[in-house]
Structure 1
Amino acid sequence: MIRKVAATAGLAFALTSGVAAYKSARNDARATRDYPPIGQFISIDGTKVHYVIEGDGPPLVLIHGAGGNLRDFTFQLTGKLAKTHTVIAFDRPGHGYTQTLNDQGESLQEQAALLKAATDALGYPDAIIGGYSYGGAVALRWALDYPNATKGVLLMNAVSNPWVVPPSKLYALAAAPVTGAVLGTALSAFAPKSLVEDTLTSIFAPKPAPDGYLDYIGAPLTLRKVTLRANGRQVNGLLPFVEEQSLRYGTLTMPVEIIHGAEDKSIPPTIHADVLAKQLQNVTYTKVAGVGHSVHHYAHDEILAAVGRLTR
Structure 2
Amino acid sequence: MTGSSTFSQGSPGRLNWLGKALLERTSRAEQSHPPIGEFVMVDGKRVHFSRQGSGPALILIHGAGGNLRDFTFQLADKLARHNTVIAFDRPGHGYTDAIHARGETPAEQAELLDQASRAIGLKRAAILGYSLGGAVALAWALARPEFVKSLLLVSAVTHPWPGGVGLLYGSAANPLTSGLVVPAISALARQSLVETTLYSVFHPNLPPEGYLDYIGAGLSLRPHSLRANARQVGRLKYHMSLMAPKYPTLNLPIEILHGSEDRTVYASIHAVQLQRDAPNAHYTPLPGIGHAPHHHSHLEIIDAVHRLNTLRN
- Using the size of structure 2 for normalisation, the TM-score is 0.97
Superposition RMSD in Å: 1.0
1:282 match:
280
1:204 match:
202
- What amino acid is the match of 2:67? N
Distance 2:142 2:70 in 1: 25
Contact 2:274 2:281 in 1 (8 A): no
Unpaired runs of 5+ residues, structure 1, are none
Change over 3 Å in CA distance of 1:309–1:114 after alignment to 2: same
**Equivalent residue for 1:214, pick from 209, 212, 215:** 212
2:37 match:
39
- What amino acid is the match of 1:150? V
Tell me the alpha carbon deviations over residues 257-300 of structure 1, each in whole angstroms, 9 at most, x when there is no partner. 00001100010111111111111111111110111101111111
State the identity as a percent.
48
**Equivalent residues in 2 for 1:120-139 (5 A)?**
120-139=118-137
- Using the size of structure 1 for normalisation, the TM-score is 0.97
Contact 2:202 2:291 in 1 (8 A): yes
- What amino acid is the match of 2:17? V
Unpaired runs of 5+ residues, structure 2, are none
Instruction: Tell me the CA shift for residue 15 of structure 1.
Output: 2.3
Q: Secondary structure at the match of 1:163?
A: coil
- What amino acid is the match of 1:12? G
1:101 match:
99
Q: Secondary structure at the match of 2:237?
A: helix
2:291 match:
293
Distance 2:78 2:305 in 1: 11
**Equivalent residues in 2 for 1:57-206 (5 A)?**
57-206=55-204
Q: Secondary structure at the match of 2:99?
A: coil
- What amino acid is the match of 1:27? R
Instruction: Tell me the CA shift for residue 181 of structure 1.
Output: 2.4
Instruction: Tell me the CA shift for residue 178 of structure 1.
Output: 4.6
Distance 1:199 1:19 in 2: 26
Distance 2:195 2:54 in 1: 35
Residue correspondences, number: 310
Q: Secondary structure at the match of 1:248?
A: helix
